[in-house]
Amino acid sequence: MSGSDWSRDPVVLDAMRRAAELGQRVLGSTSPNPAVGCVVLDRHGHVAGTGATRPAGREHAEVLALREAGEAAVGGTAVVTLEPCAHTGRTGACAVALRDAGVARVAYAVADPNPAASGGAALLREAGVDVVGGIDEQEVATGALRPWLHATRTGLPHVTWKYAASLDGRSAASDGTSQWISSEPSRAEVHRIRAHRDAVLVGTGTVLADDPRLTARDERGAALPEQPLRVVVGDRDLPESAKVFDDSAPTVRLAGGDPDRVLRSLAERGVTAVLLEGGPTLAGAFLEAGRIDLVEAFVAPALLGSGSAALGDAGVVSISQAWRFHFERVRMCGRDVWISAVPSEG
């Protein structure tokens, strides 16, 4: 790689895609730190080392990739999803590690919005390293970094609302039965989504109605080694025998149901990504508060005609007040349609 436009070299772009995949793999295990991926290329453009952020207090992606690359990093290129940090916390500054390793070029996707950690690009440039930012920025920013970026900019966790419903928007039949509206492939995707979140949130109504365990499980139904925090919101009494209180994952109870108060409490616990799996009442409250940042909807090819709606009152009395979203992605999942949507701007 050479020339002024080295950052558009297909080798660099491919390395950025690989770095984004590395970040995705560790999403849900790094909070309150971001899920960053890094690929180090040697001076000939060959992959010499890779890394992804480890849990808080342990190595960052760049350090792991440099360690694997060893001397091959000298004169090479580091490709990283987030601007290398310039501060020293429980771990050293990644920008300093890259500088000291002798890399010649650094390409990153997203600038660090955290004023306490930003400045890595400037530090590297002052050391004579060729630095280019904004590589595949939009794609990377809406991937593994999205929850952390949201939490850093707003001070509150990113909230994904997941629901399964029939074609006519029902989440349960009139007799209360809901298992299973969605297909087995859709349920498997839900477990993957859970595994990538720091916390799973439900209300007391869901616990009383469905008695869910809320753990993340693999394709064989076995619990994953790392589990999200289970959060139950509400004031109703719950039986001690409820599955959500077993020892398969930690659980906290939060009184009341005010979305902002709930999210502030979770932010204080270092949570940056929340999966909202509560019933229609809790979902409506979060939507009315403007606290749903991503919707993951699994729509089954079935009609129920009556029963519980997926969404309760969200403060909408006129079509002009509708909460508008745009589709980021629509795809088949088994026999269901899986829709990912984010709030429309403006």
Q: What is the dihedral of CA 313, 316, 322, 324, to 10 degrees?
A: -50
Instruction: Say if residue 154 carries a ligand binding annotation.
Output: no
Q: Are 166 and 335 in contact (CB under 8 A)?
A: no
Active site residue 62: yes
Instruction: Say if residue 217 carries a ligand binding annotation.
Output: yes
Instruction: Say if residue 134 carries a ligand binding annotation.
Output: no
Instruction: Say if residue 178 carries a ligand binding annotation.
Output: yes
Residue 343 pairs in a beta bridge with: 325
Instruction: Say if residue 187 carries a ligand binding annotation.
Output: no
Q: Residue 132's CB: how many other CB atoms inside 10 A?
A: 17
Q: Three-state SS across 77-143?
A: EEEEEECCCCCCCCCCCHHHHHHHHCCCEEEEEECCCCCCCCCHHHHHHHCCCEEECCCCHHHHHCC
Instruction: Say if residue 101 carries a ligand binding annotation.
Output: no
Q: Is the dihedral of CA 148, 149, 154, 159 positive or negative?
A: negative
Instruction: Say if residue 214 carries a ligand binding annotation.
Output: yes
Instruction: Say if residue 180 carries a ligand binding annotation.
Output: yes
**What are phi and psi for residue 7, nearest 5 degrees?**
-70, -15
Q: In what order do the strands lie in the sheet with 158-165?
A: 251-254, 229-233, 199-203, 273-276, 158-165, 294-299, 336-343, 325-333
Instruction: Say if residue 333 carries a ligand binding annotation.
Output: no
Instruction: Say if residue 18 carries a ligand binding annotation.
Output: no
Q: Which two tokens stand for residue 163?
A: 């629901």
Catalytic site residue from 62, 83, 189, 296 = 62
Instruction: Say if residue 76 carries a ligand binding annotation.
Output: no
Instruction: Say if residue 27 carries a ligand binding annotation.
Output: no
Instruction: Say if residue 119 carries a ligand binding annotation.
Output: no
Q: Is the dihedral of CA 255, 322, 340, 212 positive or negative?
A: positive
Q: How far apart are CA 161 and CA 155, in angstroms?
A: 19
Q: How far apart are CA 307 and CA 317, in angstroms?
A: 21
Instruction: Say if residue 335 carries a ligand binding annotation.
Output: no
Instruction: Say if residue 164 carries a ligand binding annotation.
Output: yes
Q: Which residues fall in the annotated binding site for NADP(+)? A: 164, 180, 210, 279-285
Q: Which residues fall in the annotated binding site for substrate? A: 178, 194, 206, 214, 217, 277
Which residue numbers are catalytic?
A: 62
Q: Which residues fall in the annotated binding site for Zn(2+)? A: 60, 85, 94
Q: Which residues fall in the annotated binding site? A: 60, 85, 94, 164, 178, 180, 194, 206, 210, 214, 217, 277, 279-285
